[in-house]
Structure formats: C-alpha cells, structure tokens
Amino acid sequence: MQKEYASLLDKQTWEPAELPRGQRAIGVRWVLKLKKLPDGRLDKYKARLVVKGYSQREDIDYDHLFAPVAKRSSLLYLLHITAIEDLDCHCVDISTAFLNGGVDEELYIQQPDQFNDGTGRVLRLKKALYGLKQAPRQWYKELSGTLEALHYEFCVVDKALAKKNIGGHTVYTIFYVDDFLFASQSRAALEQAKKEVLDKYAGTDKGEILDYLGMRIIRDRAARTLSLDQSGYIRRLLIEAQMNDCIGKYIPMPMGCASAPVGQQLPAAAAARYRALVGSLMYLSTSSRADMAFATGYLARYLSAPSELHMQLLNHLCRYLKATRHKKMTLGGTRSALNLEGWVDSDFANEAERRRSTYGYVFKAGNSVISWKSKRNSTVTKWKLSCLEQARQ
C-alpha cells in the first residue's frame, strides 16, 4: 500500500482542499489482490486505492460513460493474420493507465484511513482514479488522442484497433483497456511503435506474446499456427467449484434436458454458488471455448431462480471441462486461409415456457474460428405465433 500511495502522489492524482459548501466527498477503499499468471503461478501482490464509484450521482458526478474496448473477433482475426503471415507480435502493459486521464467534473474524495493527516481536509481529484464511473472513458479519450497524434488510423467498426505505416511497413495495434498488442512484419517498425507509446505512458514491454487477457499463447512459427490455452483458468475454476477430482464427460450438455422437470428451486447459498460459476463459465465460453457457448447461454437464463435441474446441468458442464481442459483454440495454419465464411442456424420455438427460438452463428477465417454466439430470441414473431396456432388446431 505504501508503494501504491507513493505512486499516486508522484502522479499528482489529487490536491488537498477544503470541502466546498454543497459538495460531498466520495469514499475510497483499498483492494488487495494476488495477481497470477495464466498457468496459475503467483506473479505479484497488488494493492490499489479505488473510489467507491457506486455512490456517484448521475448528471452531477459523471455524464457519459461509454468507452470502447477491443472486440473479441477483432483480436482473434489479428492473431490469425499474425500466425499465417508470420508477423512479429509483442505485448505492452500500461501501468496505472486510468491515472493518465483527467477529470472534467469537480470531484472530491475522502482521505484513505491509513494515510489520513488529521486535518479534516478532503482530496480534489485531478486524475481519473480507479473506481470512478467515468475513468475508462477518460482513459480512452486520452489514449485515442495520443494515437491520432502519432498518425494511427482507427478501424471503422472497432475503435480499439488501429494501424500505422512506419518505414513502409504496417504496424497493427489493438488494446483492451491497458493491455496492448503490436504486430508487424518489421521488427524495427514494431520496436519504434512500442517506444512511441512507452515514451508517452509508463508501462512494461513484455516482449514476444506469451499471454494476453488471461490466455496463454502457444506459437508454432514453423507450422504458422497460434493456439489459445486456458487450461490454467479451467483448473482454478474446477478447484473453486470443488470438482477438480470429478469424472469427466465428453458432451457439454445432455440431450433432452430442456424438456425435463426442473425440480425445486435452489436455496440461497446454492443459488449464489450457481451464479458465480455461470459467470466464470461465460468468460470462458466467449474467450476461446465456442463449444460450450450454447450450454453456458442456457444456464445463464436461470440466474435469478435456478433449480435442481439447472445445478445438475452446471455440474455436467464442469465435468465436460474436466475432460477437455487441455483443448485449445488454434488459429492460422495455411497461407491461403484469409477468406471469411459464416454459418447461422436456429431452432423453431423450442422454449417450453414462451416458445421463443434459440439461434447461433459461427464465422471462420480459413480454418480458424474468430466469432461465435448462441442466444435465445427476445421476442416471438407474429408469423411464428400463427404457425403455432395452426399446429394446435
């Protein structure tokens, strides 16, 4: 905590002030975390002072909040191109990124208990401290302005993906908050692009891509492939679910479960465990495990009131992960694998309660899956209702 607090003072995050009449000071707290590597090993201990942003008032303490981050399909397609074109790909991590963004509103926070000087004063924010609702937006505004000044061109459909020409070579960059990925055929152009960003913001050059957003990256440059591995995340998930020693299953969801009796509703403690597990599985299913997208989406429908059947299906899905935890998503492979293909399908009014349909799609670049989704429709069409009425008659 001492190191983090000293860093905040060095960055001139705030200035001591008397609280003006009509203003109020927002509370703060310390968040302590063990930061781990993708394989589960301990990386470092981390302490961060955050604002209690949940107490901010709309139109008074903040206005607009939206801040773009990289789309998963954009990231996967860039990694796919990196693999088949044999591009150099490096990662950069920006330290305390949000503190680089300013604050447009007049905001005051309380002094941290461990560092209170006893004067009764408050702290007027000059930088977007972590926890503020507008902090991600302020960081994006700062970062996008910097990249535009460096002559980057942003993608039309993904404002976290950009490219730049350096010495006749194209450098691609994509960022998810403070995690940057640079790719180029030229190592010199790549190093210059990283230097330009690190000259502006304090950060760490992590070198050749080995992990990104919690995924371990396994690269075979000879075969022109790049694999995403989340076996470490799955192992930690199964340990937390107390299912690390379970017997594996080889399908994510048994047949005919949608029409089975749901049983009694789960008690509060079991329902909380159900929600926590499904949330962890949703991250996994949207990152690199398209094979469990439908099962996870189905379980997520019942977060508010899960039953005994839904808990059984959740346990079944965990058993499936146990059996397939070492499976990886592989990108790249062949030189001509840049063409895009897509498949879409839907059932017909398969939901028992309201007769809504579930649709799904998958898009591939060559042999690499880059985008997928499984979702239940939010409405029932008039045409479908008429078909159902005719079926009843």
Place of tokens 């009764």: 120
For residue 328, the tally of other CB atoms under 10 A from its CB is: 17
Spans of the chain below 70 pLDDT: 38-39, 258-261, 335-337, 381-393
Handedness of CA 39, 42, 44, 45 (dihedral sign): positive
Q: d(Cα 369, Cα 340) in Å, to the nearest integer?
A: 10
pLDDT for 377 equals: 86
pLDDT of 42-71, one tens digit each?
778 888 999 999 999 888 888 889 899 999
CA-based R_g, the chain, Å: 24
pLDDT for 388 equals: 53
Concatenate the DSSP letters of all residues of 24-78 into one string.
-EEPEEEEEEEEE-TTS-EEEEEEEEEE-GGG--BTTTB---------HHHHHHH
pLDDT for 391 equals: 54
Sheet holding 358-365, edge to edge: 340-346, 358-365, 368-376
Q: d(Cα 318, Cα 285) in Å, to the nearest integer?
A: 12
On whether the pTM is more than 0.85, the answer is yes
Amino acid, single-letter form, for residue 360: G
pLDDT for 6 equals: 85
Amino acid, single-letter form, for residue 68: P
pLDDT of 218-260, one tens digit each?
999 999 999 999 999 999 999 999 999 999 999 999 987 766 6
Instruction: Identify whether the C-beta of residue 132 lies closer than 8 Å to the C-beta of residue 104.
Output: no
Instruction: Identify whether the C-beta of residue 337 lies closer than 8 Å to the C-beta of residue 367.
Output: yes
SS3 (DSSP) at 132: coil
Closest CA to 220 of 103, 330, 376: 330
Give the tokens for residue 73: 């399909």
Place of tokens 């470092």: 44
H or E segment and range at residue 236: helix 231-240
Give the tokens for residue 65: 């909040």
Instruction: Identify whether the C-beta of residue 73 lies closer than 8 Å to the C-beta of residue 370.
Output: yes
Q: d(Cα 90, Cα 236) in Å, to the nearest integer?
A: 27
pLDDT for 336 equals: 56
pLDDT for 390 equals: 56
pLDDT for 393 equals: 45
Residue 305 DSSP one-character state:
S
Amino acid, single-letter form, for residue 183: A
